[in-house]
Structure 1
């Protein structure tokens, strides 16, 4: 997949995607959660995240206290040392990575802490959520980062419009 071409296409479709997602919020189909699950599974049956890893290269996840506790334990570090080495507090007072790409991203796009990775990483791009219209702002943002999220919205439009 050509990431540059995808980003251009995703940018061009922002208004159309936003309009579609707002429509889902106003009048969701009765079986929306089922359709979302089906489309999510279809998309991820074809997409190999290891070919891209754009999320790990361009956006940092939010680290919850549970994430910090679990990861620092795994790395055999004090939580305070983990935080000072890897994290910073952003403008929303959230704990996020100091630098990108993610420190834990390996050269082959695998994650060195995959089994204990943050909740935000496990759930990204959030295209398998129930009541997906509750996170329209996030879905739109993610279509610019993640080719799978873009493909998800495109397929959702075909299935529900």
Structure 2
């Protein structure tokens, strides 16, 4: 029987970056996309995001215009005040949070704006969509801090 796939996953993810890159560059897109829904579901059954929240602690989603409109309305703030209070423009020209961890992450790892969170947060970690193949650099980076991305990649490797 194979050892627990999640044991020491951060080190294994770092060690497997070259394998992941080669796999992502050569993968049969249709075959991988067929596997993703089940692997995504399996990973989420084994891993509880509320125990980790590394994404919310260390990185920021992009806040696109619809996100800003929706969240500022939810917070009963003017969009300009929301932007001034919480966001900055990054090197790619995207709005991201000014501070880490995310100002909406609670002590209990729950998100205070979960129901209206940015699209990037809703979609993360992209393990059930073609982003995993289309943006290999993002997938590789995500695999170093998100156990779900690591798990899915490990299961996809031949």
TM-score by length of 2: 0.90
Shift of 1:131: 6.8
| 5+ long unaligned stretches in structure 1 | none
Secondary structure, in 3 states, of the residue corresponding to 1:144?
helix
User: 1:34 aligns to what?
Assistant: 34
Alignment of 1:53-72 (within 5 A): 53-72=53-72
**Is 2:20 the counterpart of 1:11?**
no
Residues in 1 aligned to 2:71 and 2:29: alpha-carbon distance in whole angstroms: 40
Shift of 1:132: 3.8
Aligned length: 152
User: 2:147 aligns to what?
Assistant: 147
Shift of 1:126: 0.5
Shift of 1:55: 0.3
Deviating more after overlay: 145-154 vs 6-15 = 6-15
Secondary structure, in 3 states, of the residue corresponding to 2:96?
strand
- Decide whether the 8 Å contact of 2:87 with 2:98 is kept in 1: yes
User: 2:3 aligns to what?
Assistant: none
- Decide whether the 8 Å contact of 1:50 with 1:109 is kept in 2: yes
Residues in 1 aligned to 2:128 and 2:63: alpha-carbon distance in whole angstroms: 21
Shift of 1:30: 4.2
User: 1:119 aligns to what?
Assistant: 119
Shift of 1:135: 2.0
Large movers: runs of 4+ above 3 Å: none
Secondary structure, in 3 states, of the residue corresponding to 1:83?
helix
User: 2:108 aligns to what?
Assistant: 108
- Decide whether the 8 Å contact of 1:32 with 1:131 is kept in 2: no
Residues in 2 aligned to 1:145 and 1:105: alpha-carbon distance in whole angstroms: 17
**1:17-39 CA-partner distances (Å, limit 9, x unpaired):** 11111121xxx164332211111
Q: Structure 2 vs 1, CA of residues 84 and 30 (structure 1 numbering), >3 Å: closer, same or farther? A: closer
Residues in 2 aligned to 1:64 and 1:93: alpha-carbon distance in whole angstroms: 11
| 5+ long unaligned stretches in structure 2 | 1-5
